Chain A
């Protein structure tokens, strides 16, 4: 079975060796399609690479994502050192994080709750028993030589993420798409490497080593950069609404790796490449579209795609093979011997007379789930009668973090509101809706006074 996102994927790949996989559905492409459009078709594809593909019978692209979100917690996943973005190097490191002999992992309750909350919000099945494993590889920022992760039995599986793409002439038509979530697992983050090429050395800061990560694996249900970017944005909003992660890509709290392959519709899936080092949503979309086009060009010129890892050079706008990555990685997964299975309970299975600090009740967490962005949008549209695209815009602005509204923002809000609302309703929206940009602004100063001067 094609395993897109599991950590054992590297050696499981056998595409080039003849391991085929037929895609279901009637094949529309035939042998003649491959030959057609060598020059003009390729040029056409190049021109429309950025737009959603319509009528491109020759090639279909598959994009899967592996998203690592840093859990918003006070302390790390397996140790009691602090989680903080900027701090003096190696000051937030405990003996366990530095992998000194004799130290043992102790699981942070808040991280488990965050994983369960995220799984529930993404419609996943929560595994009442999940296991921890060791993934071995050597790198200077991984002092133990292995990362504790959940490869065999992750905490949540089989979910879905729904997002909406704007299409149509005025970008006013919303199409809803869904991407399946293969699994969500808890794992450790590694430290940071600062490469000093001048002196041929690497400086290691272990502050980030051991911080809890949620790895969310999205199946290859997306077909272009825009879909991937929109899905990631929606996931960001969800994580921020839940409070499980601040999901700020610029600060490295959200990292995305893309798995990309192309094939002719109806034929077996192509060889995939992995693209890393994507540190903004804009570059994510660019890199994916570039890589899709590169693979198409390569195959149409009779070349072949290597199963490799590439990184995105945002200055040149292209992907390059990463050095220091050997062909096949064998991670030698083994069960983490220092951690028993993680058991979760619900209202029916809760054992009597146990310390509430030591048990996690899935139903309790489900009850505490805050309103999800999708629901908020719907409610705003219904309650205030605003147009769907304005609902999206408002939540996108909220997702960019609390900030003072600019004059442009206020104008936009007033104009969008005035499509259907009167001034009174607009102010109601601003003051009453928690955590909307307008409310933040209003709490800091008198909105009416400010708007009088516009």
Chain B
């Protein structure tokens, strides 16, 4: 699950320190595998089109890894920078809507006031179907 550990390192840590140190490289020089790139491209629909982009990603992970230097034992994780604010509760009245025409202008194709989308998700081509990717 090294690939997952790397990915988790990118996200804001949700529960203090996780016991991942056993699987990640403490030096932070983790190489990101082709499987991880493929996985990320599917999840986030980003395009790591070049070696440079992957290198940038590796640098970003290494940068984020410095968070592990902080000892967070016994510290409650912060869920939100808004934690001291009150969550505003709106009363249950209808005040919006009725702007179908305006909204439909955003759509490339429209059929009788419906947005038109392709049938289901279009899967990304598998890695071996793509052009050869300059990755070691």
Residues on A facing B (Cβ under 8 Å): 73-75, 79-82, 88-96, 98, 100, 106-112, 131, 136, 138-140, 152, 193-197, 200-206, 323-324, 326, 330, 332, 334-335, 337-343, 357-358, 360
Contacts and interface: CB of A to CB of B under 8 A. Distances in A.
B14 interface: yes
A79 B90 CA distance: 9
Interface stretch (B16-24, B47-55, B96-104): B96-104
A90 B110 CA distance: 11
A108 B25 CA distance: 46
Contacts of B119: 195-197, 200-202
Contacts of A100: 106
A106 B119 CA distance: 32
Q: Most chain-A CB neighbours within 10 Å: which of B82, B87, B92, B121?
A: B92
B88 A107 contact: yes
Interface in B83-117: 83-100, 103-104, 106, 111-117
B131 to A, nearest CB: 23
Nearest to A193: B117
Contact of B95 (A75, A110, A193, A206): A75
Given A93-B103, A98-B106, 5 more contacts: A80-B90, A88-B113, A131-B79, A193-B117, A343-B87
A340 B85 CA distance: 6
A74 B11 contact: no
Contacts of A98: 103, 106
Contact of B111 (A82, A95, A203): A203
Given A98-B103, A109-B89, A324 B97 contact: no
Nearest to B12: A334
A274 B130 CA distance: 33
Contacts of B82: 337-340
Interface residues of B, number: 44
Contacts of A357: 89, 91
30 contacts: A74-B94, A75-B90, A89-B100, A89-B114, A90-B103, A90-B114, A91-B100, A93-B99, A93-B100, A93-B103, A95-B96, A110-B91, A110-B92, A111-B92, A131-B80, A138-B45, A139-B121, A195-B119, A200-B119, A202-B120, A203-B114, A205-B115, A334-B11, A339-B80, A339-B82, A340-B83, A340-B84, A340-B87, A343-B86, A358-B86
B100 A194 contact: no
B125 interface: no
A204 B111 CA distance: 10
Contacts of B118: 140, 200-202
A357 B86 CA distance: 12
A202 B107 CA distance: 13
Contacts of B112: 89, 203
A80 B89 contact: no
B114 to A, nearest CB: 4
B46 interface: no
B106 to A, nearest CB: 8
B97 A201 contact: no
A107 B82 CA distance: 15
Contacts of A206: 103, 115
B115 A204 contact: yes
B82 to A, nearest CB: 4
A168 B92 CA distance: 48
Shortest beta-carbon contacts, A-B, top 7: A140-B117, A110-B92, A94-B96, A203-B114, A81-B97, A80-B95, A340-B82
A74 B100 contact: no
A237 to B, nearest CB: 24
Contacts of A323: 120
B75 interface: no
Contact of B116 (A81, A109, A201, A343): A201
Given A80-B96, A93-B103, A205 B87 contact: no
B70 interface: no
B107 to A, nearest CB: 9
Contact of B80 (A82, A91, A335): A335
Contacts of B69: none
B7 to A, nearest CB: 8
B83 to A, nearest CB: 6
B14 to A, nearest CB: 7
Contacts of B100: 88-91, 93
Given A337-B80, A340-B85, A109 B14 contact: no
Interface in B33-84: 39, 43-45, 79-84
Contact of A93 (B12, B81, B97, B116): B97
A358 to B, nearest CB: 6
A18 to B, nearest CB: 15
A195 B80 CA distance: 39
Nearest to B123: A326
B126 to A, nearest CB: 12
Contact of A82 (B44, B81, B97, B114): B97
Nearest to A330: B43
A325 to B, nearest CB: 10
